[in-house]
Amino acid sequence: MALLESIFGKKKKEFRATCPITKEPLEKGFGYLLTTAQIVASKKYWDLIMTEPETLSYTVSHFKNQTSGTQMRSMIFEKYASIQKPWIVSDSVINYFDVDKSAAKENAKKWWALEGNYSPTDIGAADHTLDAATFQTWKNYAILEAGRDKVR
What sign does the dihedral 99-100-105-106 (CA atoms) show?
Answer: negative
Rounded to whole angstroms, the Cα distance separating 108 from 91 reads 12
- State the pTM of this model: 0.88
Concatenate the DSSP letters of all residues of 56-113 into one string: HHHHHHHHTT-HHHHHHHHHHHHHHHT--S-EEE-TTTGGGS-S-HHHHHHHHHHHHH
Per residue in 78-110, pLDDT (tens digit) is: 999 999 999 999 999 999 999 999 999 999 999
Taking only the tens place, the pLDDT of each residue in 25-78 is: 999 999 999 999 999 999 999 999 999 999 999 999 999 999 999 999 999 999
Question: In the Cβ-directed half-sphere of 88, how many Cα atoms lie within 13 Å?
Answer: 25
